[in-house]
Amino acid sequence: MKNIVLIGMPGCGKSTVGVVLAKAMGYRFLDSDLLIQEKDGRLLSEIIDEEGLEGFNQIENRINSQIEVKKTVIATGGSVIYGKQAMENLKNIGIIVYIELPYEEIKKRLGDLHNRGVSIKEGQTLFDLYTERVPLYKKYSDITIDVNGRSISETALYIKEQVKNFSGGSTND
């Protein structure tokens, strides 16, 4: 069974929708940010503080490039798209779904970017980050889902339907 890999900006709902989607499909759920924290032994914000952005991105790339699961919904960190090996691996093991949400909605949903472990350069604004990442999300995605105005369960069911359509009616390899 192909995995379903959720990518998108922090705050777009990857983890929340991912859990509901996994239940709806009978899949397991994996949050790659939690996997990074577990494997590294530090919070994302601690890794960024201690290793810098570049160091964090290297750790994130390495850990995501080693994920080997089946029949799993994988919610990635928003910065996963900076890791070439990570994206190659995720594309190889799954269907990439970009959860798209307008900038204004992302801005409303996000609180303290640092405490959330958002990978953002010194002096960079959230809008700068958004405009930098959106083309990368679109580049790597197999499916783009606009979730603006959809509830969590509506989004999960819509993703399930779109993945089946993309896979020709099945989620088997």
Q: What is the mean pLDDT of residues 134-148?
A: 95
Q: What is the mean pLDDT of residues 16-44?
A: 96
Q: pLDDT value at position 120?
A: 81
Q: Are 150 and 158 in contact (CB under 8 A)?
A: yes
**Which position has the higher pLDDT, 73 or 120?**
73
CATH number, domain containing residue 148 = 3.40.50.300
Is 172 contained in some domain?
no
Q: Are 3 and 10 in contact (CB under 8 A)?
A: no
Q: How many domains are contained in the chain?
A: 1
Q: pLDDT value at position 1?
A: 64
Average pLDDT, the chain: 92
72 closest CA partner among 136, 25, 11, 108: 25
Q: pLDDT value at position 66?
A: 97
Is 31 contained in some domain?
yes
* pTM across the whole model: 0.93
Q: pLDDT value at position 168?
A: 78
Q: pLDDT value at position 113?
A: 67
pLDDT at 63 over 80: yes
5 CB-side CA count, 13 A? 29
CA distance 72 to 157: 16
**Which position has the higher pLDDT, 172 or 40?**
40
Q: pLDDT value at position 114?
A: 63
pLDDT, tens digit, 9 for 90 and up, residues 88-140:
999 999 999 999 999 999 988 887 666 666 778 888 889 999 999 999 999 99
Is 56 contained in some domain?
yes
Is 173 contained in some domain?
no
Is 125 contained in some domain?
yes
Give the structural domain span for 79.
3-166
Is 55 contained in some domain?
yes
Judged by DSSP in three states, 3 sits in strand
Mark out the alpha helices in the chain (DSSP H runs).
Answer: 14-25, 32-40, 44-65, 84-93, 103-109, 126-140, 152-166
